[in-house]
Amino acid sequence: MLIELGSLSATRRHQYLQYAVAPRPICFASTINAKGEVNLSPFSFFNMFSSTPPILIFSPSRRVRDNTVKHTLENVLEVPEVVINIVDYSMVQQVSLASCEYGKGVDEFMKAGFTPEPASRIQPPMVKESKIRMECKVQEVKPLGAEGGAGNLVICEVLCMHIADEILDQGGMIDQRKLKHVARLGGDWYCAIDESTLFEVEKPNTHTGIGVDALPASIRLSPVLTGNHLGQLGNVSDVPHIDPGFQDERLTQIILYYSITPEEMDKVLHHYAAELLAKGKVREAWQVLLAQA
């Protein structure tokens, strides 16, 4: 299906984009107006865009329904400060509650049951329950349009971060396994990060991978190996050679058993290599594949 975005209603366009560009981290923004009234609302049009200077951007949109603007936007235009609180699984239902369209001046800390805590350098309070709070100065607000659905980029410079000790590792860094990050997808869908969904992909920027195009055709065109497998195999610096010291009981068995049916043997070796790759054992997988006929 090919979709021309201009032919869609604003609501449909929003849905397709929201389902496609996912998961998105959630900025739980605490702001204040000139009268000192506090507002707290979630925004998943949010990300980091620079670390030096440290810049985060989130976007309160004009409402599609009636083209009105959100209190958060009005507040940062009056008082250009915001605390960006990071959302984890333990708070997600209350965060969703805070997104209700309460009247102007209603404090969502109260409505959603969060505890305000004074920030150290800016006026809006932090959310005590959030394990990472970032105090920010708003550098610029950039409207992206004047119609309903138009975003407003709130460009924020992070002045300081508050991080709960319980999510730090021994070296004082954030331990990705200790914070159950939550992210927003399309519609009512969310996802939560925990040890069962986390995985690592080795950074290729410490060396240059040979690339999928440099893999021997028998590997590159394998009916067994997937794109992910080829990506792992293509991330070595040089095509490996057979290592005479490589000992593997299962490999020995496969070679003995399938020596009279080489085609069958290749398939079995590819399946075995796939198993090794799933465990991150790239060197071993290469040795298994080099044993093919």
Name the site residues for ligand FMN (rule: CB under 6 A).
26, 39, 41-45, 59-61, 70-72, 96, 99, 101, 184
Q: Which helix (H) or strand (E) holds 86?
A: strand 81-86
Closer to ligand FMN by CB, 61 or 235: give it: 61
Query: Least distance to ligand FMN from the beta carbon of 284, Å?
Result: 43
Minimum distance of ligand FMN from residue 121's CB (angstroms): 22
> 273: closest CA among 254, 257, 259?
254
Residue 42 CB, nearest approach to ligand FMN (Å):
4
Residue 101 or 194 with smaller CB distance to ligand FMN? 101
> Can the peptide bond before residue 23 be classed as cis, meaning omega within 30 degrees of 0?
yes
Q: Assign 3-state DSSP to the chain and report helix, strand, coil percentages, each to 5.
A: 30, 25, 45
Smaller CB separation from ligand FMN, 14 or 220: 14
Strand order in 190-192's β-sheet?
24-25, 182-184, 190-192
Measured from the CB of residue 86, what is the shortest distance to ligand FMN in angstroms? 12
Q: What are the DSSP calls for 14-25, one per residue?
A: HHHHHHHS--EE
CA nearest to 18, candidates 54, 39, 44: 44
Instruction: Write down the least CB distance from residue 59 to ligand FMN, Å.
Output: 6
